[in-house]
Amino acid sequence: MIIREQRITIVRIRKPAKPDMNSELQWFGNALGLFNLRDKDKSQFRLFIELLKAAKNKTPISSDGLAYKLGLTRGTVVHHLNKLMEAGIVVPTQKGYLLRVSNLSELIDEIERDIKEACTDLREIAKDIDERLT
């Protein structure tokens, strides 16, 4: 079993009032804590969209390819990729980067499994601590 550190953030925010793809994608990323107010040019959001497109085609994309496509520096792209990898959303491959799965529904299923695993681990440790404290 591979143990990796993963930082999952879930933010409960109001869903967009009107169904529109851009607003819903922005809401989706915000609800996963992926985007923040400091990202004025929405580079993380734009990077996420490109990775989503690549995942649909199952085609990895390099950091250089992302930088070129988005008009960002490679350093900015790598910074955002690292944040997405830390969240367990993106995985590196030999040919570039991909979302962990090929669609958003599967991504939520994977995140839900990760959270359940983390809660199981927390529960085991909590039980052990509780027993030693009494």
Tell me the C-alpha distance between 67 and 84, whole Å.
15
Q: Are 47 and 81 in contact (CB under 8 A)?
A: yes
- Looking at every residue in the chain, the average pLDDT score rounds to 90
CATH of 21-104, one of 1.10.10.10, 3.40.50.1100, 2.60.40.420, 2.30.42.10: 1.10.10.10
Confidence check: pLDDT of 119 > 80: yes
pLDDT for 36: 75
Q: What ranges do the domains of the chain cover?
A: 21-104
Question: Using H for helix, E for strand and C for coil, what is the string for 4-43?
Answer: CCCCCCCCCCCCCCCCCHHHHHHHHHHHCCCCCCCCCCCH
Residues 14-55 pLDDT 10s = 998 888 998 999 899 989 988 876 777 889 999 999 999 999
Eight-class DSSP state of 102: S
At residue 4 the predicted structure's pLDDT band, cuts being 50, 70 and 90, is: low
Rounded to the nearest 5°, which phi and psi values hold at 17? Answer: -65, -45
Return the number of other C-beta atoms located less than 10 Å from residue 132's C-beta.
Answer: 7
